[in-house]
A and B are shown apart, each in its own frame.
Chain A
Amino acid sequence: MNIFKKEMKANVTSLIIWCCAQVFIIYAGMMKYQGFIDSHVDMSKLLAGFPKEIMVIFGVGSSLDLTKVAGFYSVFFLYFMLLAAVHAVMFGAVAVSREERDHCADFLYAKPIRRFQVIMPKLIAGVINILIFNMVTFGASVFFISLHNNGDGMFNQVSLTMLALFILQLFFLALGAMFGAVLKNTKLATSVSGAFILGFFLISVAVDLYDKLTFLKIFTPFKYFEGSTLMLDNQLSFTSAVILLIVSVIFFALTFFAFNRRDLKT
């Protein structure tokens, strides 16, 4: 319990900054939505005239209508994924390896508790942190959407989107924690985690760009959920969710395993 509290306290400032940035992005995006719809273009009629392949290639589902608040908001999902991924992966990487970096590992690990009793509260603190980040995103989204949608916050669709976001956050937390446990020090763990995020993002860009690269889709979590299917069709891809959760569990297990046999620097 003490470790959990300590971990929460160590991250409170950064969590507040992250949440503020997220709220600002939602605010800035939705504020300008008003100006965007004022242009009065009937997009759905227009899109009906184009061949479906072109729309698919460009990542615009035939149903995506940017003048509707749901369609506009679904574009945000990419931004949420990027920010949430950076937040979660860095949390995981730092939380596991922090004591060695600060040279206080001999203090913590000499306590009469087993190693997994140290890692467990740290990871629970990580889950709570990403959950708070998720909830703040959720609250800000519903609030700002309702401002522009005659009071209707689209609670159901947004909660589904947030569920998908949470699964992704969990995945990235597990990824970061695994690197933190396996790699030598914090610096290396954060660097590798950062490289993975940039790599995942670039793969997702390349997949959009060139249709022969579609097979790469399974390698990047950023392509597991699509904002438009979540917000418009109200569907969460079951297979994607299961794959991500299973991989997360594997990563968490590896974290425990690697950490138990880790040679702690003192």
Chain B
Amino acid sequence: MNILKQELRMGRKSLIIWCLSLAGILVLFMLIYPSISSQLEDFQKVFKSFPIEFQRALGIADLQLNTILSYYQFPFTYILLAGAVQAMNMGVAVISSEIREKTGDFLFVKPVTRNRIISMKIMAVLVQILITNAFVFVAALITVSILSAEPYNVKLFVLITSSLLFIQIFFASLGLFVSAFLRRIRTVLPISMGVVFIFYIVFLLNETLKDDKLGLISPFGYFDLSELSKTMNYDSLYLLLWFVLVGLFIFLTFRLFARKDLPSI
């Protein structure tokens, strides 16, 4: 319990900055909506007359531009991107910081098992992710409710907004796995930002190409927001894959870390 508390205390400042900037980005982008909503309806008519390949190339296939939620999913893609960086950062940093800052000698000689330390640290990451999500959810709910003149589809809103939780948990567990796997991590952000951006670009690429195999590589594709608004549910295959991968990463983190040779001063 002390470990959990200590982790939360150490992460408090960056958590506040992340929450504020994620919500800030989302609100700023949503504020553009009233000024371009009439424009969007004109676009909609023009786009519908494009051939389907071209619509896909522009990423506008199946796009419904005339409701607020169809616009909402657009800035939310970037929230997913930024949120993924945050989560992966936490995942990579939470264990590796002990070794990097040479405090491992202090923590790992305490009369608690390594597994217990890891589970406490994972709990701390999870709590921080939940706080971020709650914050973003409330900010988004308020903004959308104020900006939307007519009632909107609440289920779709919840589905879109909750995809942040799934993406963050995925990248946090990937980060944990990476930090258990690599011997020593000197700087966290180049790793997490590199990995997240590569996955994001694979996802962007696949937006144009619509290739099933490529879609399996990038977790951003598992929660494709434009698919969501069509089917009104998460894709069960991708959700299963998500569960399996997250479980595997967490399992391997415990497994690898339990046998890891920890450098001391």
Contact = CB atoms under 8 A, between A and B. Distances in A.
Does A pair with B?
Answer: yes
Interface of A: 14, 17-18, 21, 25, 28-29, 32, 35-36, 39, 41, 43, 46, 50, 54, 58, 60, 66, 75, 78-79, 82-83, 86-87, 90, 94, 98, 101-102, 186-187, 190-191, 193-195, 197-198, 201-202, 205-206, 209-210, 212-213
B58 interface: yes
Given A75-B208, A206-B32, A212-B35, A190 B201 contact: no
Contacts of A197: 193
For chain B, give the interface size range.
35 or more
A41 B54 contact: yes
Nearest to A14: B190
A201 B193 CA distance: 13
Contact of A191 (B58, B189, B205): B189
Given A50-B46, A87-B194, A194-B85, A28 B54 contact: no
B187 A186 contact: yes
A14 to B, nearest CB: 7
Given A14-B190, A209-B36, A46 B211 contact: no
Contacts of A79: 201, 204-205
B197 A83 contact: yes
Contacts of B188: 187, 190
A28 B204 CA distance: 12
Given A25-B205, A28-B205, A41 B193 contact: no
A18 B201 CA distance: 13
B260 interface: no
B51 A46 contact: yes
B211 A32 contact: yes
A95 to B, nearest CB: 11
Centre residue among B53, B58, B81 by max chain A CB count within 10 A: B53
A145 B32 CA distance: 39
Nearest to B100: A101
Q: Which DSSP category, helix, strand, loop or mixed, fits chain B's interface?
A: helix
Closest 8 CB pairs of A and B: A90-B190, A190-B189, A32-B209, A39-B53, A79-B201, A210-B32, A21-B198, A66-B57
A137 B189 CA distance: 23
B214 interface: yes
Interface of B: 21, 25, 28-29, 32, 35-36, 43, 46, 50-51, 53-54, 57-58, 74, 78, 81-82, 85, 186-190, 193-194, 197-198, 200-202, 204-205, 208-209, 211, 214
5 contacts: A46-B51, A86-B194, A90-B189, A202-B29, A209-B36
A83 B209 contact: no
B186 A101 contact: yes
A41 B51 CA distance: 8
Contacts of A186: 187
Contacts of A191: 189
A27 to B, nearest CB: 11
A16 B58 CA distance: 32
Contacts of B54: 41, 43, 46, 66
Nearest to A101: B186
A124 B47 CA distance: 49
A15 to B, nearest CB: 12
A14 B214 CA distance: 24
B209 A194 contact: no
A43 B51 CA distance: 9
B6 to A, nearest CB: 18
Contacts of B78: 201-202, 205
Contacts of B51: 41, 46
A198 B204 CA distance: 16
Contacts of A29: 205, 209
Given A94-B187, A202-B78, A83 B193 contact: no
Contacts of B209: 29, 32, 35-36
B186 A83 contact: no
B134 to A, nearest CB: 22
Given A102-B186, A190-B190, A210-B36, A82 B53 contact: no
A266 to B, nearest CB: 15
A54 B39 CA distance: 10
B24 to A, nearest CB: 10
A102 B85 CA distance: 24
Given A86-B197, A206-B29, 18 more contacts: A14-B190, A17-B194, A25-B198, A25-B202, A28-B214, A36-B208, A54-B43, A54-B46, A79-B201, A83-B197, A83-B201, A90-B189, A90-B190, A90-B193, A193-B189, A198-B81, A202-B78, A209-B32
